[in-house]
Amino acid sequence: MNQDQIVSMNVNAPTETRMTIPANTLSFVYDEVYQPDLTPRPAWSRFLENLKDVSTEELSRRSLQADEILNENGVTFNVFHDSRQAERPWSLDLLPLIISSGEWETVAAGLQQRARLLNYIIRDCHGPRQLILDGILPPEVLFANPGYVRPFVGLHKGPSSLTLYSAELARGVDGGWRIMADRAEAPAGAAFALENRIVVSRTIPPSLHEPTVRRLAPFFLTVQNTLKNLGRHLSDN
């Protein structure tokens, strides 16, 4: 055995880099992971501990695998303000945004309250129009709106006129949540959420699996049952 062979045998294999999440250094951005004293937020503690068992190389490999699955499944999105209506590949970050159950309950309660308010406004605008009579809503705001359909007046008989509601949320620098937009049409984001959950479950490292993640199935079952109930009075066609 020559000297070159001896040297090559003694060279250690390169070590993999452990995965970490750096603290945010921007004063105008809320740090989701770390508190001001740089200790992990309670909801993130276990995830960060498990993340130590994952290398950056492994996460990169799994991210590429996720991209391949999304591409094979034909998952794309359309930028609606793009005049070319170009479809773009859907991208997915395997590292999740973790929100504690307590915080989410507060957010959910606020969204439910907002949905009840919007439902009341819809019913009032297509019914007694008390908001106009009380001077809260200017008449021109309602009657000049191209989305206002006069033949719908008086048709809202059931307990709810708002079938679906979702909101675009953003975190403020103070940690509070802000509603950027209301959505009450087709729930396009729900399909992306389901696809994301499926792909993540197939590609995320086993050590990062969280048994306490809130399931999506109850939402989709509720939507399915709601649509069935709405269509009971309709004919088969």
- Domain range annotation of the chain: 28-92+102-209
Q: Is the pLDDT of residue 78 over 80?
A: no
**pLDDT at 87 exceeding the cut of 80:** no
| pTM, to two decimals | 0.79
Lowest average pLDDT, out of 103-117, 170-184, 221-235, goes to 221-235
Contact partners, residue 166, CB within 8 Å, separation at least 6: 182, 183, 184, 187, 189, 190
Task: Provide the percentage of residues in the chain whose pLDDT is more than 70.
Answer: 87
Residue whose tokens read 């999740």? 96
CB 125, CB 131: distance < 8 Å: yes
Cα 162 to Cα 112, 117, 144, 158, 225, distances in angstroms: 12, 10, 21, 10, 15
**DSSP label at 44?**
G
Q: State yes or no: pLDDT of 85 exceeds 80.
A: no
pLDDT at 216: 92
What mean pLDDT value characterizes the chain?
85
Residue with tokens 């503690």: 45
Higher pLDDT, 203 or 14: 203
Secondary structure tally for the chain: helices H, strands E = 8, 4
Assign 3-state DSSP to the chain and report helix, strand, coil percentages, each to 5. 45, 10, 45
- Give the pLDDT mean for 160-168: 90
The pLDDT, as a whole number, for residue 90 is 82
Task: For tokens 């609606």, name the residue.
Answer: 80
Distance CA 136, CA 138 (A): 7
Using one digit for the tens of pLDDT, what is the confidence trace for 45-70? Answer: 999 999 999 999 999 999 999 999 98
> Would you give the DSSP letter of residue 94?
S
- Helix (H) or strand (E) segment spanning residue 58: helix 56-72
Q: Stretch 166-180: mean pLDDT, rounded?
A: 95
pLDDT band at 15 (very low <50, low <70, confident <90, very high): low
Report the distance separating Cα 143 and Cα 137, nearest Å.
Answer: 11
The predicted structure's pLDDT at residue 11: 45
Structure confidence at residue 27 as a pLDDT band (50, 70, 90): confident
Asked whether residue 212 carries a pLDDT value surpassing 90, the answer given is no
Place of tokens 């079938």: 163
